Amino acid sequence: MRALFDFIARQYHWMMLIVLEGLSLMLLFQFNHYQGSVWLTNANSVVGYLMEQEQRMLNYLSLTDVNAELSHRNMLLEHNIKVLTAELNRLTHDSTFTERKVASQLAGVELIPAKVVNNSVRLHDNYITINRGSVDGVQPEMGVVSGTGVVGIVYMTSDHYSIVLPLLNSKSRLSSRLRGSNYFGYLRWDGRNPLSTILDDIPHHARCKVGDVVETSGYSSVFPSGIFIGRVSRIENSEDGMGYQLHVRLGIDFANLQDVSVIATRGHGEQQELEEQAH
């Protein structure tokens, strides 16, 4: 306490000066309108400047939260844009000749629409899972198509899902023919290119060329005749030299397959049972 009294005693004249200066300024601003208005204007300017700087600092400190909110909104906007773009493409889609041809070939046939929920293209034996099963009327040995051609054959079903044996499976053997002729063979996949398969057993005397259409032969109860499969991309001799081996460029990009339809063929089980009895 003595140190405080000693400090006040040493600085007494400065403290008195500050007090008197403050008192004089108060009297000056209080009883003189001009000086008072000048003081208030300058004081308000200083206070406004300080408040502005404080707000800028607060805004800067809250940038993290603002950026997080903007990022969230951007993600929502991007999702909405994708949904709207997909719907716009669906509504304004101009059907290709192949799609119109497939649609005309399936006119009058009962189709069960389905979505692909699982798919693979890089394996030697690929499978596709769709979201329709026995409850929806799907049965094994039913054909599966898309808007651009043949997908495969239903392999097995549960109540609400089905496994499809696609063309990209080494076990797949689909009776196929060259469009405009009666020459047919069996389509198989060699496990290499997911965009291409091989058509065997086409005789040498068959007239074929690159670009010819390959379609279903109709020699089974699974697919009607004339469903587009692909186009001939290369012609080679078969391994035994008895015919041609045609490389077929598929009409379906299986890696991007999303929507399919199951052909609900009536009586296909009866035909299959009868043919098995004959053998």
| Full set of structural domains in the chain with CATH | 2-61 (no CATH), 99-278 (2.40.10.350)
**Residue range 16-29, pLDDT digits in tens:** 767 666 666 666 55
Burial string for 157-194 (b: 16+ CB within 10 Å, else e) reads beeebbbbbbbbbeebebbbbbeeeebbbebbbeeeeb
In the numeric block, the tokens 């499976």 are attached to 169
As a whole number of angstroms, the distance between CA 186 and CA 191 comes to 16
- Residue 111 pLDDT > 70: yes
The mean pLDDT value for 20-48 works out to 62
Residue 244 has pLDDT above 50, yes or no: yes
Q: Is the pLDDT score of 68 beyond 60?
A: yes
Q: Tell me the pLDDT tens digit for each residue of 148-199.
A: 889 999 999 999 999 999 999 999 999 999 988 888 889 999 998 999 999 9
Residue 115 and residue 130 in contact, taking contact as beta carbons nearer than 8 Å: yes
